[in-house]
Amino acid sequence: MYKIEKEKLTALFQMIAADQELFLPIRNGGQVNFGPWSEAVEVDLETLNSVKSPKDVFFPQSENLYTVKQNDGHMCIEPEELKNQDFVVFGIRPCDVKGVEVLDKVFLVDPLDSYYAARREHATLVSMACNEPEETCFCKAFGIDCVEPGGDVAVWRVGEELYWKPLNEKGEALTDKVKSLLVEAEESCVAEQQAAVRKIVEKLPYADLSLDGWNGEALDAKFNSDIWEKLYTPCLACGTCTFVCPTCQCYDIKDYDTGSSGVQRYRCWDSCMYSDFTMMAHGNNRTNQMQRFRQRFMHKLVYFPANNGGMYSCVGCGRCVAKCPASLNIVKVIKAFQEKGGEL
């Protein structure tokens, strides 16, 4: 365990960014999102959740896959270059680290997503413990301890210090890079704060949220429940929940004709809330919003765990709770089934 004074953070960032990209929470136009560091940007480590989760560091909202060009009548394909430079993501929250693990389950299994894999391979995650959990947080329900960060390096902000603990080789490597700024410190230095924060977590409104009954076996009962009909009605069919979500991984593939410089085939985030999601030649297999709405939560709480050894594709970051224009969210869904015992 090491530590560094908060005033030295800029120096730290400069040092990291000297020979590689550094992504971290940046305040721009009143909102905090992850972005590349530069002297010009305003770093914000206080805000609990970035609006967009950091997932788009690995799985960008849009990325070009390859470009098709035409030279006097002949087609030729230019694949997009894969990420081949190391980079660092600083300040990613424990829940979002878990979110990345969820994405790994999707993109790092066969067939491997080379674009995603390349980014993961070159990334070093510096994960930051939470100091002030908010009422929207329910990471505990997914077994996440918001004061025990994962990733490659774990950091805590305590008083005027930032405590730094490498968790693996990647972490060690980064630590060596910035050693000159770090000083040795005791593990115990963070224990007190950890305890305090854990107390707060116990008091959160969603502290006792239970996921009982949400698993692969529950498929039919949940799918056929008519609670959905009641739940979905306020849904505006926008993509806010999916686009701020750290685990939503659906994407669409589209072509863009740039004219002179060829046709770009790119992929971009898609939302199961959209009416043309998985649209096929014959039309759409989900014809109404109830079905789309149900799909999202069934996927996160039933289908995904069924296929991934019980791992949910929700990490309780609370972004959807905070951002849904119609005040819907996954918690309301989970509770609704609890209260009604899944029946009705």
Partner 1 sequence: MQELVNRAGELLADGSVARVLGWKAGDLSYNPEPAYFENAEALEQFVYNGFCGANLSKYMIEASKLEGKTLVFLKPCDTYSFSQLLKEHRVDRDKAWIIGVGCHGKLDIERIREQGIKGIELVQEEEDSLKIQTLYGEKELPYQSVMLERCYVCKGKEHRIYDELIGESKETDTGERFAGVAEVEAMSPEEKFAFFQRELSKCIRCNACRNVCPACSCRKCVFDSNKFDSAQKVNVDSFEEKMFHIIRAFHVAGRCTDCGECSRVCPQGIPLHLFNRKFIKDINELYGTFQAGEDLETKGPLTNFTFEDAEPGIVAERG
Partner 2 sequence: MSIEAKTEFKPKIVAFCCNWCSYAGADLAGSSRLGYPADVKIIRVPCSCRVNPMFILRAFEKGADGVIICGCHPGDCHYSTGNYYARRRMTLLFSMLDYLGIEQGRTRVEWVSAAEGVKFSTTMNEFVEKVTSLGENIRLGDLRCRS
Partner 3 sequence: MSRVQRIGVFVCHCGSNIAATVDVTKVAEMARLEQGVVHAEEYQYMCSEAGQAKIAEAIKEKDLTGIVVCSCSPRMHETTFRNAVERAGINPYMVEIANIREHCSWIHKNKAEGTEKAIILAKAAIAKVNLNAPLKPGESRVTKRALVIGGGIAGIQTALDIAEAGYKVDIVEKTPSIGGRMSQLDKTFPTLDCSACILTPKMVEASAHENIRIFTYSEVEQVSGFVGDFTVDIRKKARSVDMDKCTGCGVCSEKCPAKKNASEFNRGLGNRSAIYTPFAQAIPNVPVIDRENCIKFKTGKCGVCSKVCQAGAVDYEQQDEIITEKYGAIVAATGFDTIKLDDFDEYAYSQSKDVITSLELERVMNAAGPTAGHLERLSDGKAPRNIVFIQCVGSRDCTNRGKPYCSKICCMYTAKHAMLIRDKYPDVKVTVFYIDVRTPGKNFDEFYRRAVEDYGVNYVKGQVGKVAPQPDGSLMVQGVDMLDNKQIRMEADMVVLATAIEPEAGVRKIATMLTASIDNNNFLTEAHPKLRPVESPTAGVFLSGVCQGPKDIPETVAQAGAAAVKAIGLLAKNKLLTNPCTATTDELLCNGCSACENVCPYGAITYEDREVNDHGIREVRRIAAVNNALCQGCGACTVTCPSGAMDLQGFSNRQIIAEVDAICR
The binding site for partner 2 (CB under 8 A) comprises 256, 258-261, 264
Burial category of 90 from C-beta neighbours within 10 Å (exposed 0-12, middle 13-18, buried 19 and up): buried
Report, in Å, the least distance between residue 308 CB and partner 3. 32
Binding partner of 288, given partner 3, partner 2, partner 1, none, CB within 5-8 angstroms per partner class: partner 3
Q: State how far the Cα of 130 lies from the Cα of 126, in Å rounded to an integer.
A: 13
Q: Which is nearer to partner 1, 53 or 295 (CB)?
A: 53
Q: Is 288 in the site for partner 3 (CB under 8 A)?
A: yes
In the Cβ-directed half-sphere of 313, how many Cα atoms lie within 13 Å?
26
Q: Which is nearer to partner 1, 171 or 316 (CB)?
A: 316
Enumerate residues 6+ apart whose C-beta is below 8 A from 223.
Answer: 294, 298, 302
Q: Dihedral of CA 37/136/243/248: which sign?
A: positive
Report, in Å, the least distance between residue 265 CB and partner 2. 12
51 contacts 96 by C-beta, under 8 angstroms? no
Q: Is 257 in the site for partner 3 (CB under 8 A)?
A: yes
Where in 10-29 is the site for partner 1 (CB under 8 A)? 28-29
Binding partner of 51, given partner 3, partner 1, partner 2, none, CB within 5-8 angstroms per partner class: partner 1
67 contacts 259 by C-beta, under 8 angstroms? no
Report, in Å, the least distance between residue 73 CB and partner 3. 6
Residue 156 pairs with which residues in a beta bridge? Answer: 163
Q: State how far the Cα of 116 lies from the Cα of 94, in Å rounded to an integer.
A: 20
52 contacts 33 by C-beta, under 8 angstroms? yes
Q: Which is nearer to partner 1, 168 or 233 (CB)?
A: 233
Which of left, alpha, beta for 224 (phi over 0: left; psi -120 to 50: alpha)?
alpha
Report, in Å, the least distance between residue 162 CB and partner 1. 20
Report, in Å, the least distance between residue 261 CB and partner 2. 4
Q: Which is nearer to partner 2, 61 or 258 (CB)?
A: 258
Residues contributing to the site for partner 3 (CB under 8 A): 72-73, 257, 259-260, 283-284, 287-288
What does the binding site for partner 1 look like in residue numbers (CB under 8 A)? Answer: 28-31, 33, 48, 51-52, 61-62, 132-136, 200, 203-205, 233-234, 236-240, 242-244, 252, 254, 256, 266, 268-271, 274-276, 321, 323, 325-329, 331-332, 335
